[in-house]
Amino acid sequence: MSRIGKAPVTVPQGVEVKLDGQTITAKGKLGQGSVTLVDDVSAEMKDGNISVQPRSESRRARNMWGTSRTQVNNLIHGVAEGFTQNLEIIGVGYRAAVQGKELVLQLGYTHDIKYPIPAGVTMKTEKPTTIAILGPNKQQIGQIAAEIRAFRPPEPYKGKGVKYATETIIRKEGKKK
């Protein structure tokens, strides 16, 4: 039995949820989104809670039970409060700035990297060495953070590059004389 799947998803105030077959649509203060569940699970709404149940005892249905519940939870949480991913830039001369609809990164290359900010996503640079990515879709926020990190991943000797704020870089010892 899925421990995650058993827990119902509570719908906070200010979020409007519609259940139409296998599609769940949510609308909140940060926008709207929808998720389509696989045919192996069913969702029902009662008393302000959404519960997801497997339709059969097959292995796939049990596998998708917890996954589907988490997708619904991320949808509800995203339109209500949103998600944030923080990145840090380490290195002399490395910096980032938001200019209009673009994130401009200076990461030690001969040219600046201009990353277009997608619709529905907000980027903030409080300091030139930090980037905060905010938005209602957890998958999209994670994908954007991974793409920005891939421009200059952190290297193990000095730790220079773009890293997640929660990431720990395992350092290597340099050359010995």
Angle between helices 138-151 and 59-80 (to 10 degrees): 80
Task: Copy the structure tokens of residue 24.
Answer: 């769940």
pLDDT digits (tens, 9 = 90+) for 144-157: 999 999 999 999 99
Question: Exposed (0-12), middle (13-18) or buried (19+): which is 172, by Cβ within 10 Å?
Answer: exposed
- Least Cα distance to 42 among 16, 61, 18 occurs for 61
pLDDT at 4: 84
Q: How confident is the model at residue 47 (pLDDT cuts 50, 70, 90)?
A: confident
User: Which CATH topology does 3-80 take?
Assistant: Outer Surface Protein A; domain 3 (3.90.930)
The answer to whether residue 118 scores a pLDDT higher than 90 is: yes
CA dihedral 17, 19, 25, 29 (to 10 degrees): 0
Confidence of residue 3 (pLDDT cuts 50, 70, 90): confident
| Residue 89 confidence (pLDDT) above 80 | yes
Note the pTM of the prediction, 2 decimals: 0.86
What stretches of 38-113 show up as alpha helix (H) in DSSP?
59-80
Q: Rounded to 5 degrees, what are φ and ψ at 39?
A: -70, -15
d(CA 34, CA 175): 53
Separation between Cα atoms, residue 121 and residue 132, nearest integer Å: 10
Question: Model confidence over 20-31: pLDDT tens digits?
Answer: 888 999 998 888
- The residue among 41, 67, 66, 43 whose CA lies nearest residue 56 is 41
For the residues 150-173, what does the mean pLDDT come to? 92
Whether pLDDT at 2 is above 80 = no
Interatomic CA distance for residues 84 and 86, integer angstroms: 7
Q: Where in the chain is the domain with CATH 3.90.930.12?
A: 3-80, 83-164
Pairing label, strands 49-54, 9-10: antiparallel
| pLDDT exceeds 80 at position 132 | yes
Please give the CATH topology (third level) of the domain spanning 83-164: Outer Surface Protein A; domain 3 (3.90.930)
Please compute the mean of the pLDDT values over residues 75-103 and round it to a whole number. Answer: 93
pLDDT at 13 over 80: yes
Gap between the Cα atoms of 171 and 159, Å rounded = 7
Which residues lie across from 51 on neighbouring strands?
44
Does the pLDDT at position 84 exceed 90? yes
> What rounded mean pLDDT belongs to the chain?
91
